[in-house]
Amino acid sequence: MGSLTLANPVMPASGTFGYGEEFAGLFDLNRLGALVSKAVSTLPRHGNPPPRLVELKSALLNSIGLQNVGTQGFIEKKLPFLHDYSPPLIVNVVGDSVEEYREVVEALDPHERVSGFEINLSCPNVKKGLEYGTTCAGVERITSALRAGTRKPLWIKLSPNVSNPAELGKAAEGAGADAIVAINTLGGMVIDIEKRRPVLGARFGGVSGPAIKAVAMKVVWQLHEAVAVPIIGVGGITRTEDAIEFLMAGATAVQVGTANFVNPLTMIEVIEGMREWMGERGIKKIREIVGAAHG
């Protein structure tokens, strides 16, 4: 993961773990491979109008709209708490312009507790957010601008709402990304047939959960054939076997998102489950199974 070595390959997906506080009472956060924050923008954001969450069959539709405390709020209110824990802290960054992304990265870069950045190029529920993540030129532009702003690990998180995610991964790698994270949510919507209106206040949202796992798997597989930097797989993981599938497709680490809402101990169960699964098969290093399905 760039200069980072993780104690284990399991971490939360941004936005499903807050800034860690809510989970700290449920298990020891030090057991995670890394901590990944909710998105941080320059100024605080209130997010989208309600309703913002709809439960679907095997999936969740959300239009939170990147509600967050802003860079200063993160530094003052969230970072002190995170000092008490040892796993690398990756800050998920979002912005409406390259300059805004860069401002967030440069403001957080001097903070020792911040280990690296995950750049969210792809929130389908924020109007201007998508454009950076949909073209190779856009991905290259933002990656090089941020590369110039930090020497810390820079992870680029891709949108699946494009025709060529592997090409975008390659563009990010070429511009200096240390790892590629795939995937973010898929754009979607639901209509209330009695009201004859969209259910979400923002009309459209992002689909996550078990229903998107097969989509994420294909993107990770294609990325494995396209890039040499580590890939972090995310999308629909609920159990050990899902995580192992991602590793075999080419991921070096995985993130657990929506499953945290159903069972907040999912990450711990996956960490223990992977250890057991590998032990039973005499597999000593994660490396032995990364990309194993490619033959």
Ligand X SMILES: Cc1cc2nc3c(=O)[nH]c(=O)nc-3n(C[C@H](O)[C@H](O)[C@H](O)COP(=O)(O)O)c2cc1C
User: Would you name the residues annotated as active-site residues?
Assistant: 123
**β partners of residue 155:** 118, 179
Number of CB atoms found within 10 A of residue 86's CB: 11
Residue 172 near ligand X by CB under 6 A? no
Residue 48 near ligand X by CB under 6 A? no
For residue 85, give both structure tokens. Answer: 């824990």
Q: State the number of CA atoms in the 13 A half-sphere of 190 facing the CB.
A: 20
Q: Which x/- pattern, by CB under 6 A, does the window 53-92 give for ligand X? A: -------x-x-x-x-------------------------x
Asked whether the bond before 165 is cis by omega within 30 degrees of 0, the reply is no
**Interacting span for ligand X (CB under 6 A) from 95-103, 108-116, 129-137, 235-243:** 235-243
Chain position carrying tokens 């290259």:
140
Q: Which of 1, 8, 10, 15 binds ligand X (CB under 6 A)?
A: 15
Distance, CA of 212 to CA of 224 (rounded, Å): 19
**Interacting span for ligand X (CB under 6 A) from 7-15, 104-112, 222-230, 268-276:** 7-15
Q: Which x/- pattern, by CB under 6 A, does the window 211-230 give for ligand X? A: -x------------------
Tell me the one-letter amino acid at 176: G
Nearer CB in complex with ligand X: 124/149 = 124
Beta strands 114-120 and 154-157: pairing type?
A: parallel
Torsion angle defined by CA atoms of residues 177, 183, 187 and 193, in that order, rounded to the nearest 10 degrees: -160
Nearer CB in complex with ligand X: 38/152 = 38
Residue 208 near ligand X by CB under 6 A? yes
Q: Which x/- pattern, by CB under 6 A, does the window 271-290 give for ligand X? A: --------------------
What secondary structure letter does DSSP report for 59?
Answer: E
**Interacting span for ligand X (CB under 6 A) from 163-171, 204-212, 273-281, 286-294:** 204-212
Residue 236 near ligand X by CB under 6 A? yes
What secondary structure letter does DSSP report for 167?
Answer: H
Distance, CA of 247 to CA of 249 (rounded, Å): 5
- Cβ partners under 8 Å of residue 163, min gap 6: none
Nearer CB in complex with ligand X: 244/259 = 259
**β partners of residue 181:** 157, 232
Residue 209 near ligand X by CB under 6 A? yes
Q: Which of 10, 11, 13, 114 binds ligand X (CB under 6 A)?
A: 13
Residues that bind ligand X (CB under 6 A): 13-16, 38-39, 60, 62, 64, 66, 92, 120, 157, 184-185, 208-209, 212, 234-237, 256-259
